[in-house]
Structure 1
Amino acid sequence: MNNPLQLRTVKVMRYVTPLREGGSLPAIAEADDEFLYVLKFRGAGQGVKALIAELLGCEIARALGFRVPELVFANLDTAFGRTEPDEEIQDLLKASTGLNLALHYLSGAITYDPTVTCLDDELSSKIVWLDCLLTNVDRTPRNTNMLMWHKELWLIDHGAALYFHHSWHNWAEQAKRPFIQVKDHVLLPWASQLDTVDTEFKAILTNDFIRAVVNLIPEDWLTDASTEDTAEQRREVYYQFLTTRIASSSTFTTEAQHARASLI
């Protein structure tokens, strides 16, 4: 059966410059379609798990109506980067041969600053709900992972989400847990409409949609020498985790409401 969701695949042609943020060393790169992308490498930091979190987080956010840059699969040739003088970057490029992930580069975008731009309660509630679903720990005042581009808000960088997959232990139990880290969310003080958002978003995120999103994950991103699980077994865990978490959303919305009440 054809997947109704599709991502384009591009070939990386030119490494432009590193973005030295955090430990993952993403880079601006040019692809064969002549667009610039923020390239996220399979050989960096948390490896393909960060790419899977980015893929699932981005496409779920897009379905819910958020602005997120176009996501593409990015092929890195074995010969790419041989002339790179920086040894750390050269090692990263060598470790990332094959299929990586990239987002359209939003040239001229600036980091969202809550002291400069106020978001309304509805949008704030929607973003908080999304991050509770994804267990995204990386939307704090210190690092908002949101950009202002042409006076519109864009969400970026979901690689730290779905942290259950770094251990795989008790994933079914974790799917039903509240998201305690929501207390540090940059938009929590304005998230006053979580119940309304909960009803709206659960209607959009059907099981069929989640299945289609999970089916986007490349098979070789799901194989791991440290486990006997097959790629399809791992894919099924992502599906079950997300559908269970959506069905149990009252747990994380209630936690978020309690955390907000302690702030205001």
Structure 2
Amino acid sequence: MSALMTIPPALDPARHALFIDFDGTLVELVDDPQAVAIDRAALLRLAALQSELSGAFAVLSGRRIADLDRFLEPLRFAAAGVHGLERRGGPDDPIERLAGPERLDPLRRDLGRQLAGRADLRLEDKGLALVLHYRGHPELKAEAERLMAEAVHGDEGFAVMNGDHIVEVHLAGMDKGRALAAFLVADPFRGRVPVYLGDDTTDEFGFRAVKERGGIAIKVGTGLSEADYRLAGVDSVHRWLGAPGEPSAAGTGSE
């Protein structure tokens, strides 16, 4: 793994398929997950890129696709939500869910009891995943991880992921790498070189899948990563994508 800053090559819309994370990549991380916003100029650039890529553009996120739609409105796009447990193969396709939320009911009840009356730890229910937030209280990291581990109780049917001031649990068997691979077997992604941008530990699955297929893995921010390339932050992502008013990296034909 590398922590070096290596600027990624230019995006080639004729050959590449673009897969991109949302929080910490397209938008800045904030204490309230519902308070994020994307600049209109950046949103217009994403719409233009989607067209330039002949539709080979998808957002891969831990969020639900319905939330992504709300934040990126009016853009419509292929997406994998809840780390791939939700999937939309194309902008106008229905959302497919790999499982129902009821499998998480025992964890809901357990964590609900443990967190009753607490304001420093907050449980977000995504339906197909549960997220324990401790943003603003970094000293609670170990406690949050312990509470989640106790709720899961070693059940291998669940996957626990530690992210940026969160601990998340969802059904095992899916991650962003597998979600990305599923897109690549169908048009308009099939036959293209995958490019993936993400900032968190959950994006390492995507980086690994991209590198196995000869693609370009781009880590956003600091920290060790399997990605070969790096951008400093959200602003750098939008500059690299060529948001209006910024020099564009797209279209030079470089890989």
Q: Which has the higher strand share?
A: 2
Question: TM-score, normalized by length of structure 2?
Answer: 0.26
Q: Which has the higher helix share?
A: 1
- Which structure carries more relative contact order (alpha carbon 8 Å, separation 6+)? 2
